Amino acid sequence: MIKNENNENLVLALAQFNPAVGDVEKNANHIRKIRAEAIESNDDTPDIIVFSELCICGYSPEDLVFRKSFLSLIDKEVKKLAEETADGGPALLIGAPVLDDGNCYNSALLLDNGKVENVIYKHHLPNYGVFDEIRLFKQGPLPEPVDFRGFKLGIMVCRDIWEKDVPEYLKKQGAELFVVLNASPYEQEKIVTRVQTVCDNIRETAIPLVYVNMIGGQDELVFDGASFVLDHNASLKIHLPQWKETVQNTIWKRNEYGILGCRDIQISKMQNVNESVYHAMMFGLRDYVNKNGFPGVIIGLSGGVDSALTAAVAVDALGADRVRCVMMPSPYTSKESLEDAKAGAEMLGVQLDNISIVPAMNAFDGMLEDVFAGKEKDVTEENIQARARGIILMAMSNKLGYMVLSTGNKSEMSVGYATLYGDMCGGFSVLKDVYKTMVFDICKWRNENKPEEALGSEGLVIPDNVITKPPSAELRPDQKDEDSLPSYEVLDDILKCFIEEELGIQDTIAKGHDEKVAKKIWKLLHQAEYKRRQAPLGVKITKLSFGRDRRYPITNAYEGTS
């Protein structure tokens, strides 16, 4: 095999793949497989294959980087990969944590000629939202360009392209092509923000760019890929699909002015909001279940919209044979809900068990009769129903090995409209970061669309009546959600003001909301913090998800008036 030494063309492959955090050997084998397939392909053999940030260990390894044995394993696998590049085939540009003089750096490593040719340290370490890199890594210096087979590459790691100083410095040092390794998590509209931010820096430097992003789910984060290539004038030349493992060759050639340009044009279709959110939920659930070794999931199917959508996502992610649903009626469960749950299960092709909680309710009434003597029934008895259901779900989980999915949405979790040790039981929450109004929108979207890689069926997967009937927890006669809360359109808009926009009460009122309602929602939002701390994790969808994105104290006297 002969390397490209004519300095005329550079064949660069973008490889977006799905690593598993901590499974260093498996990730290395995946990188090895991609390289072998590139060599055997009928296409031009790449000079270099570019992978994503920390791809050798997965993102984010968190406190694993404090274990020397973990870093030693990574070093061992990196050296093995490097040795294999002595065959004259493609070089590899991979992401890995590197220990240097007692400090750990988030790094890009160029493997070529049988060795680690270059190590580039990440300069800007994000320390906001879900990112905690200042605690994990040491800041590297401004990176220098790398000479590679006659081309000067300005190699950066993720955040470095979002700031102006690193690309400007690399340009001054003679870089002619920016190559960026990324682990940029999904959130609504972020794909547009990524491209626009990077385009701004490319317009200022007039240097073309290759941006490789990982895909895959890791706990509450999900990475959507959507890697791209920009020409020196910031025109989009390549945009790879979201949610898909892809290896794409690009061919680069200098024009008469010596400027590198990408010969190829391939633009994948952009997904709309409902489509991308659905994919994020499906992808995040699939990887959480599969990477943690669960055989399947159990869902309490109530006949309501949240559990119906959760079940649809689960079937699309895992297949109907790995999803088991259970209806747990009480005396307050309507005939309509029983029919809707049955119809939904049939549409999805899942097993539906029916286990009444009436015997449990009667048992608790008898057990607590003396303690509760003389007291009116209230939310206590409602919570007992939810907890009886939680016991059933967890018992089935323990016996069958399936993980319980909780079904609460972000609107409910925001105001505490959920029961600890009841409907909050579960190992994962698909809808945790999805507002109720969006739940309805996504249900309608899924009934009209089936994602390409979904394992569920075409056509209706959620009964129309589930979407159109008024939401109710059905814990007392004729109960409706709006008995306790404003309409979900109003509630969600107020919550977005408080959470996503981080506004206070007065600023929210100024946007047209009723003062009394805004103050009530503010109080509920902060009172429910203790519940959210005990909730299962779920897929990050919005700018500020509950968890690492938003960290408020439980004991908190701030009134939020401004």
- What are the residue ranges spanned by the domains of the chain? 11-270, 274-476
Q: Determine the Cα–Cα distance for residues 103 and 125; give it in Å rounded to an integer.
A: 14
Q: Which of 504, 482, 516, 495 is nearest to 559 (CA)?
A: 504
Q: Determine the Cα–Cα distance for residues 249 and 50; give it in Å rounded to an integer.
A: 10
Chain mean position to CA 395: 29
What pTM, to 2 d.p., does this model score? Answer: 0.93
Q: Taking the chain, what is the end-to-end CA distance rounded to the nearest angstrom?
A: 68
Q: Determine the Cα–Cα distance for residues 33 and 450; give it in Å rounded to an integer.
A: 31
As beta bridge partners, residue 233 has none
Catalytic residue ranges: 53, 122, 158
- CATH fold group of domain 274-476: Rossmann fold (3.40.50)
Place of tokens 């005939």: 335
Half-sphere exposure of 334 (CA within 13 A, CB side): 17
Whole-number pLDDT of residue 418: 92
Q: 3-class DSSP state for residue 314?
A: helix
Whole-number pLDDT of residue 5: 52
Q: Determine the Cα–Cα distance for residues 69 and 131; give it in Å rounded to an integer.
A: 24
Superfamily of domain 11-270 in the CATH hierarchy: Carbon-nitrogen hydrolase (3.60.110.10)
- Residues of the chain falling short of pLDDT 50: 1-2, 6
Burial class (CB in 10 A: 0-12, 13-18, 19+), 5: exposed
Helix intervals (H) in 62-174: 68-84, 133-136, 165-172
| Whether 471 contacts 305, CB under 8 Å | yes
Tokens of 348: 């999805």
Chain mean position to CA 448: 24
> Which residues make Cβ contacts (< 8 Å) with residue 301, sequence separation at least 6?
307, 308, 311, 325, 326, 327, 341, 344, 345, 352
Whole-number pLDDT of residue 7: 59
> Which residues make Cβ contacts (< 8 Å) with residue 370, sequence separation at least 6?
none
Q: Determine the Cα–Cα distance for residues 328 and 326; give it in Å rounded to an integer.
A: 6
Nearest 10 degrees: Cα torsion 389, 523, 380, 425: 20
Q: Determine the Cα–Cα distance for residues 151 and 140; give it in Å rounded to an integer.
A: 23
Q: Determine the Cα–Cα distance for residues 393 and 398; give it in Å rounded to an integer.
A: 9
Q: 3-class DSSP state for residue 182?
A: strand
> Same fold for the domain at 11-270 and the one at 274-476?
no
